[in-house]
Structure 1
Amino acid sequence: MAKIIAISISEKKGQKKHNIPEAELLTDFGMAGDAHAGKWHRQISLLGIQSIDLMRAKGADVNPGDFAENITVEGLVLYELPVGTKLNVGDGIVLEVTQIGKECHSGCEIQKQVGSCIMPTQGIFARVLTGGKIRVGDEVTVSND
């Protein structure tokens, strides 16, 4: 079973995200209070813990939220999901995958530490089709719709 293992937020762009136990996802907007929320295609960012573990194995001192992802998931290889995939999260929340990967900014600290970063290939982005409250431990499933 795939589940949320961390929820991360930053109130200002450029600020490091910090972990919170729960968050409100707003339909067609993103995470309430997050600087990157808005009416665009990258409302929510997600990353699998296995991607973070890969960077740890390369010597990076990283934790959930350090890649600026909003939701860290265990038990699902997110970057293998095609754009358009719908994810059911917790109690009725629906996300739609809109983008796989994102170029790192020029000052990427992780890239400086270990010479590479996973976000260009393994981070994914989604928009919120149906909002609601998410919590650490909530189940994440790929929708059959």
Structure 2
Amino acid sequence: MADVTRASVVSVGLDSTHRFSKPPVERVTLLAGLGVEGDAHLGRTVQHRSRVARDPDQPNLRQVHLMHAELFAELADLGYDVSPGDLGENVTTHGVDLLDLPVGTVLALGQEARVEITGLRNPCLQIDRFESGLLKAVVGRDEAGELVRKAGVMGIVLAGGDVRAGDAVGVELPAEPWVELQPV
């Protein structure tokens, strides 16, 4: 895992409607048990339209979408121009290998907010509508042929608070044995 002593928030974003990208804002307010205040995905139960159609009463394990800024450099090397918020994340981080964290990891964001990682974001075709071919760049295979999803992680808000660019990110790993992240 990355050296988390220098981990920080690069950008924060939200959108009150169900659009793909989330424009960057000065700060987001996380609400315990709900998500990002003012965001379309705020709620105790699932808010993603396709999931609501299947079962509107399932718990919302996708209250906050976090993405590592290091992905943007990787995508730039492949010819894609992606910036914070473009892929729909609420919080863009730097210095934390989000994809390698186990389920139940708690991220301390800023002074008070705490988000528990629930799983991986499962990227969909909307990514290709944003930029053609991008889905293949964020979903690939490793050396063993296993599927690798790179489009960030999802979490639930344990403790609310304001989060801004420049805030520190702390990482609290759960007790072992660790459970590998799966799509939620």
- Structure-1 separation of matches of 2:65 and 2:135: 22
Structure that is richer in strand per residue: 1
DSSP 3-state at the match of 2:166: coil
Deviates more, 1:54-63 or 1:104-113: 104-113
RMSD in angstroms over aligned alpha carbons?
1.9
Partner of 2:132: 112
DSSP 3-state at the match of 1:108: helix
Q: Name the CA shift for 1:62/1:107 in 2 (closer, same or farther; >3 Å).
A: closer
Please report how far the alpha carbon of residue 15 of structure 1 lies from its aligned counterpart in structure 2 after TM superposition. Answer: 4.9
- Structure-1 separation of matches of 2:104 and 2:113: 16
Partner of 2:153: 124
Q: Is this contact kept in 2: 1:25–1:132, CA < 8 A?
A: yes
1:34 and 2:39 aligned: yes
- Structure-1 separation of matches of 2:173 and 2:116: 12
For 2:98, which of 78, 90, 112 is the aligned residue? 78
- Residue pairs, 1:21-60, within 5 angstroms: 21-39=26-44, 40-60=60-80
Partner of 1:139: 168
Q: Structure 1 stretches of 5 or more lacking a match?
A: none
Partner of 1:89: 109
DSSP 3-state at the match of 1:128: strand
AA paired with 2:79? G
- Structure-2 separation of matches of 1:139 and 1:19: 18
Deviations 1:8-32 (A, max 9, x none): 1111002531000111100010110
Please report how far the alpha carbon of residue 94 of structure 1 lies from its aligned counterpart in structure 2 after TM superposition. Answer: 1.0
1:10 and 2:15 aligned: yes
Q: Following TM superposition, where does structure 1 have runs of at least 4 consecutive aligned residues deviating by more than 6 angstroms?
A: none
Partner of 2:55: none
Percent of aligned positions with the same letter in both sequences? 30
Deviations 1:103-135 (A, max 9, x none): 313563356244624277121000000001111
Structure of greater Rg:
2
Give the paired residue count: 145
AA paired with 1:139? A
Q: Is this contact kept in 2: 1:111–1:117, CA < 8 A?
A: no
- Structure-2 separation of matches of 1:109 and 1:71: 22
AA paired with 2:98? L
